[in-house]
Amino acid sequence: MLGTLHKKPRFDILITLGISLVLVDRVDFLAGAGPFALTPFLALAPFVLTATMLHVLTTRSEDRGAVSLRGKRGAMWLSVVVLAVLTSLFFGPPGHGLARSALLVVQMSAGVSLVALIRWSENWRAVRRGAYIGLAIYAIFDLYQWVLVRARIGLGEHWSGVVNGTLSPLGADAFRFTGACTDPNRAVPAIAFFTYLLLADPVTSRPYRRWTQYGILSVGLVMSALTLSRSGLIVFFIILAAAIGTMVRQMPQAERVLWFVLGGFTLVWFARGTWIDELGARSIIDTRLSRQDGSARSHLELLHRGWDGSTIDWHFLTGHGYGQSYLYLQDIFPQDIYANYHSLFITMLFETGVVGLIAVVALTVGPLRSRRRWLALGVIAFNLFYQDIADPLFWVQIALLWFVSDTPLEAPPDRGGSASMRARKIAPFFGPRLPHKDLISTMRA
């Protein structure tokens, strides 16, 4: 009987590579000479799509598992997004809309297909391996950028073969270390996502030892802080809120007090230390934290302008064409073909109309009732004042929220020690405590 059971596919290499390379746009195999950036994930996309189609064609539907009601709703909203994007092209001016729509469909299909391979194989180890490698890739690129800063290379556009080494300066002598992503704001959600998979996801995370958890969280936090992205850091803490809260609750009282005191002294030293003035960084920090002098004011002006442009007569229903926002922002961002309204929701309303907006809101808000609610909140928070709909990371997150169960498939075995000590370690990450032995006894009865 056991020999007739269906053996699940593994897809180890594809899953590991797909997760680790989900946002590595500093590598462009066209070296910036093509109409788009041929990133490692885009190069991997044909293999992911082929593996998905072959698996569908060569297996029975019952072997792949039934799609849940939540999954069917997610697929419906994804279809509405594609329909709204394609329909909007008929009502917009000529531009890059068609090419960007095609790229969006490819990114969406590849991201959803990658998550489908994860769902079919239940290969959580490959997911964790991909998250570890992803963090390592971002750390290596941070080190690469530090070398360029020390050598005073990359102040303008700089390429080392297929690697984009262009730096992100902030002021005269300060630089933002963005890891494997060229945009410091988009880099942090990727770092947070890798950290989330290792520490906080209800299925992929493991009950690491306390100091291992501190180490993983510290690596993610330091790399996020090096981007100097305000919105990114907010998103990082939102996505990891549950994991951080669990760590704090598990700390011994003395250790909790020690961390609190050290954190307070660090904040005071950072805020009042003369080293900030000596480095000339005071104006930079004030700029990043100021609502009037920083970029927050320009963001609000963009949001207001996008809303006003979206509510002009029939464009509220049809939009101005997907990917065409830059045509209406040349007075603010001259010669910039990637300009947008710095909010996924406002940009989707402007470009695809109210139907596209409703579909995106449903995709991001729908999973708030699941155990992955903190990941969903992070996606919403980031896209309120930025947007990453053209990144595969966005679609991998959306697919994970809608198509992969958020309930552990089986309880981990009790490996001894005090009664249910292991269960107490795992329960905060997985949600409600799992009554392992009582559940098994009930099932047998």
442 falls within a domain: no
| pTM of the predicted protein model | 0.84
Q: Quick one: pLDDT at residue 410?
A: 45
Residue 195, pLDDT above cutoff 60:
yes
Task: Give, as one character, the DSSP assignment of residue 203.
Answer: T
444 falls within a domain: no
412 falls within a domain: no
Residue 4, pLDDT above cutoff 50:
no
Which helix (H) or strand (E) is 159 found in, with range?
strand 159-160
d(CA 106, CA 196): 25
> Would you call 216 helix, strand, or coil by DSSP?
helix
d(CA 413, CA 287): 52
Q: Quick one: pLDDT at residue 102?
A: 92
Q: Quick one: pLDDT at residue 334?
A: 84
CA–CA distance from 337 to each of 121, 181, 234, 332 (Å)? 40, 19, 28, 12
In terms of C-beta density within 10 A (0-12 exposed, 13-18 middle, 19 or more buried), how is residue 357 classed?
A: buried
d(CA 45, CA 52): 11
Please count the other Cβ atoms lying within 10 Å of the Cβ belonging to residue 91: 16
d(CA 230, CA 330): 26
Q: Quick one: pLDDT at residue 441?
A: 39
In terms of C-beta density within 10 A (0-12 exposed, 13-18 middle, 19 or more buried), how is residue 66 classed?
A: exposed
Q: Quick one: pLDDT at residue 402?
A: 94
User: What is the number of structural domains in the chain?
Assistant: 1
Quick check: 320 and 91 in contact, CB under 8 A?
yes
* CB-based contacts of 264, cutoff 8 Å, min separation 6: none
Mean predicted confidence (pLDDT) in 403-413: 65
* CA angle at 159 for the pair 155 and 163, rounded to the nearest 5°: 120
d(CA 304, CA 311): 11
Helices and strands in the chain, H and E counts = 20, 4
435 falls within a domain: no
Q: pLDDT per residue over 217-240, tens digit each?
A: 999 999 998 888 888 888 999 999
> Would you call 439 helix, strand, or coil by DSSP?
helix
Q: Quick one: pLDDT at residue 279?
A: 42
Backbone torsion region of residue 201, taken as left when φ is above 0, otherwise alpha when ψ lies between -120 and 50, otherwise beta: beta
Q: Quick one: pLDDT at residue 171?
A: 62
Mean pLDDT score of the chain, rounded to an integer? 81
Quick check: 244 and 163 in contact, CB under 8 A?
no
Confidence class of residue 287 from pLDDT cuts 50, 70 and 90?
Answer: low
169 falls within a domain: yes
Q: pLDDT per residue over 75-96, tens digit each?
A: 999 999 999 999 998 888 887 8
Smallest CA-to-CA distance from 262 within 306, 228, 220, 218 is with 218
Residue 437, pLDDT above cutoff 80:
no
Mean predicted confidence (pLDDT) in 193-216: 90
Q: Quick one: pLDDT at residue 231?
A: 82
Beta bridge partners of 175: 169
Confidence class of residue 412 from pLDDT cuts 50, 70 and 90?
Answer: very low
Q: Quick one: pLDDT at residue 415?
A: 40
d(CA 313, CA 207): 55
What tokens does 126 get? Answer: 């490959």
416 falls within a domain: no
Mean predicted confidence (pLDDT) in 166-186: 82
- Residues of the domain holding 204: 8-403
d(CA 418, CA 395): 42
Q: pLDDT per residue over 120-164, tens digit each?
A: 988 899 999 999 999 999 999 999 999 888 887 766 778 888 998
Confidence class of residue 296 from pLDDT cuts 50, 70 and 90?
Answer: low
Backbone torsion region of residue 222, taken as left when φ is above 0, otherwise alpha when ψ lies between -120 and 50, otherwise beta: alpha
> Would you call 143 helix, strand, or coil by DSSP?
helix
Q: Quick one: pLDDT at residue 435?
A: 40
Please count the other Cβ atoms lying within 10 Å of the Cβ belonging to residue 371: 20
**pLDDT > 90 in the chain, percent:** 40
357 falls within a domain: yes
Q: Quick one: pLDDT at residue 313?
A: 76
Q: Quick one: pLDDT at residue 173?
A: 65
Quick check: 422 and 414 in contact, CB under 8 A?
yes
Smallest CA-to-CA distance from 398 within 350, 360, 438, 343 is with 360
Residue 364, pLDDT above cutoff 70:
yes
Tally of residues, the chain:
445
**pLDDT > 70 in the chain, percent:** 81
Q: pLDDT per residue over 10-23, tens digit each?
A: 799 999 999 999 99
> Would you call 169 helix, strand, or coil by DSSP?
strand
428 falls within a domain: no
Mean predicted confidence (pLDDT) in 411-431: 39
Beta bridge partners of 159: 164
Q: State the Rg of the chain over Cα.
A: 23
Mean predicted confidence (pLDDT) in 365-390: 91
